[in-house]
Structure 1
């Protein structure tokens, strides 16, 4: 099967033009998260593994272990083949499985990029992330904006897309000690500004 047939929205840098806008935006999220990478790290819904490999190479001294989790067997096989690193372990898992924290343990940093819009029970997903994050640990999470929870989206692989207000409300429900909200514009990130329409939100949460 052609790799593009089973990846859906998955980013495959080796099959994309270097200046592809979607590729650049995805890479920018990992660059944004790089300073927070330390200790034991989880990349939930890691896809093809390019981001895991990128941050592992850049933060190899600060990194103890990086666990990349995805639900698709072929995607994980590709990640193991193309983006192997001595500090990375790829494994299969369901992001909304209530037993996931018991399976994976605790992490100093958790990355979740463009994942929450793919799951119907986003609160269970957030509960899993919060339970897996160590006290003092950092969660870096992004999601595109849309019509809101339970509303149809034009993206075939998205269950729904949260509004900016719903996105920010996700983090109010959990007792994080600090939450910083940024919005992505192209490859840059900024604090919200009045009168500017944003399409992707990024949250940095400290437990």
Structure 2
């Protein structure tokens, strides 16, 4: 039985109007407009997002691979979210051997992951190595007081500032920024005057 840690999204165990659930689902539906080809859902958790992409985008994706460090989460995903286009694997997002094991992808999604990771550079390096030239990365994280400062969230190493978040993607040819509050996701130009607690970057390699 997959346990709810307080941060893990398990739709079957949550009320349909749960704000956290709706926020996470909104990100995957947002990403569905951009994905194509071979897709990696990096830190896929219980697997619901991988399933959303596989099912919603079945006409434009070849394969959707979900990777998560938690073996129970991967077992749950395999049992709950079967789709002929999706696969789930146990793996650590900072494992330097992952690019060799998984190969390259046209699109990589990683939602609410980087704030959990101490080895930030290795995580970003893995993503870059696994993304095909011309490929698309869609990555999100909540904003906070900055790198190295405790966020008050039990499972977060820290939460980046907006500036630190934008500094992550200099190696990419282009990056667009979006901001999210609840289910509302707006482009940077529309959100600049408002308080948005979470950022989404869409990067082209």
For residue 184 of structure 2, what is the aligned residue in structure 1? Answer: 188
Q: Could you tell me how far apart the structure 1 residues matched to 2:74 and 2:161 are? A: 31
Equivalent position to 1:64, from 51, 62, 68? 62
**What secondary structure is seen at the aligned counterpart in 1 of 2:33?**
helix
For residue 144 of structure 1, what is the aligned residue in structure 2? Answer: 142
CA deviation vs aligned residue, 1:149-182 (integer Å, no higher than 9, x gap): 111111101111100000000012x2x1110011
Gaps of 5+ in 1: none
> Does 2:202 match 1:204?
yes
For residue 87 of structure 1, what is the aligned residue in structure 2? Answer: 85
Q: Counterparts of 1:23-172 in structure 2 under 5 Å?
A: 23-172=21-170
1:114/1:144 contact within 8 Å kept: yes
The alignment of Structure 1 onto Structure 2 pairs a total of residues equal to 203
**Does the C-alpha gap of structure 1 residues 108 and 152 become closer, same or farther in structure 2, counting only changes over 3 Å?**
same
How far the C-alpha of 1:96 sits from its partner, in A, is 0.8
**What secondary structure is seen at the aligned counterpart in 1 of 2:54?**
helix
- Deviates further, 49-58 or 193-202: 193-202
TM-score after normalising by structure 2: 0.95
Q: Could you tell me how far apart the structure 2 residues matched to 1:49 and 1:191 are? A: 27
For residue 178 of structure 1, what is the aligned residue in structure 2? Answer: 174
Q: Could you tell me how far apart the structure 2 residues matched to 1:82 and 1:194 are? A: 39
Q: Could you tell me how far apart the structure 2 residues matched to 1:187 and 1:159 are? A: 25
| Structure 1 segments of 4+ aligned residues over 4 angstroms from their partners | none
TM-score after normalising by structure 1: 0.94
How far the C-alpha of 1:123 sits from its partner, in A, is 1.7
Q: Could you tell me how far apart the structure 1 residues matched to 2:91 and 2:72 are? A: 13
Q: Could you tell me how far apart the structure 1 residues matched to 2:130 and 2:43 are? A: 15
Gaps of 5+ in 2: none
Tell me the C-alpha RMSD between the 2 structures: 1.2
